A = this chain, B = another copy of it.
């Protein structure tokens, strides 16, 4: 199951967990509580995509103004504005509705941009905002399918950021997007020895193998650093694990 082409995320430890990276052209969901580093991973994925792998990127944001993203990226040493000026990145500040419509229309500015700069990687920040499109889980699921099929059609390796609020990673997922994507990555707070640590786990990779360990990580200047697996703990994904042995 290891011969599919890979798109490294650019987060070294995460790529190791993913057995080399995301399957090229696949769709990954990155779920996490506020502050666990979702947007950082998204920016790192796009920045390293350009720098290390020469792949153009698309960053779709529904809430954050581009200038705050540029500023936050700069704090990590990533000059996104420069990449944009060089035509290797496009940051789009839009609404879920407009983005979905654009994705369906071959002549929309977004689709033009995708083709003009040859987008290979996309980050959607965040798919939780799609919940504004419908209060019906079934309809919401349909919108997620439109989104994912649109990205798949273009062959764009995509990272869908998702806001999340509890130990059960499906419960707050109203449109059950986790069932439709190819990969699910969780970022979590875990209280260990009275310290708020962060944990990363890869749950699902369609058509591929991956590291099943739950690993500690930190957000540093320059992006995520993924460390050793946790040891002697049970219930890590509950957020309040217990020591064992």
A residues with CB within 8 A of B:
1-4, 33-36, 63, 65, 68, 71-72, 75-76, 126, 128, 131-132, 137-138, 145, 149, 152, 163, 165-166, 168, 170-171, 173, 176, 178-181, 184, 189, 191, 193-197, 201-209, 212-214, 220-221, 229-245
Residues in B with CB closer than 8 Å to A202 are 196
Listed by A's residue number, 6 A-B pairs whose Cβ atoms lie within 8 Å are A1-B220, A3-B75, A34-B181, A131-B137, A163-B176, A166-B170
B240 touches A240 (CB 8 A): no
Give me the 5 closest cross-chain CB pairs, A-B, nearest first: A35-B204, A165-B170, A1-B221, A75-B207, A132-B138
- Distance A176 CA – B164 CA, assembled complex (angstroms): 10
Residues in B with CB closer than 8 Å to A201 are 196
A213 touches B229 (CB 8 A): no
Q: Across the two chains, which residue of chain B brings its CB closest to A165?
A: B170
- Total identical chains: 6
A191 touches B236 (CB 8 A): yes
B213 touches A194 (CB 8 A): yes
| Cβ distance A93 to chain B, nearest Cβ, rounded Å | 12
B196 touches A71 (CB 8 A): no
Residues in B with CB closer than 8 Å to A189 are 203
Q: Across the two chains, which residue of chain B brings its CB closest to A126?
A: B179
Best-buried of A173, A189, A245 by chain B (most CB within 10 Å): A189
List 17 extra interface pairs beyond A34-B203, A68-B152, CB under 8 A.
A1-B220, A33-B170, A34-B170, A35-B178, A63-B180, A128-B176, A165-B168, A166-B168, A191-B214, A194-B213, A194-B236, A196-B201, A197-B212, A234-B240, A235-B240, A235-B242, A237-B240
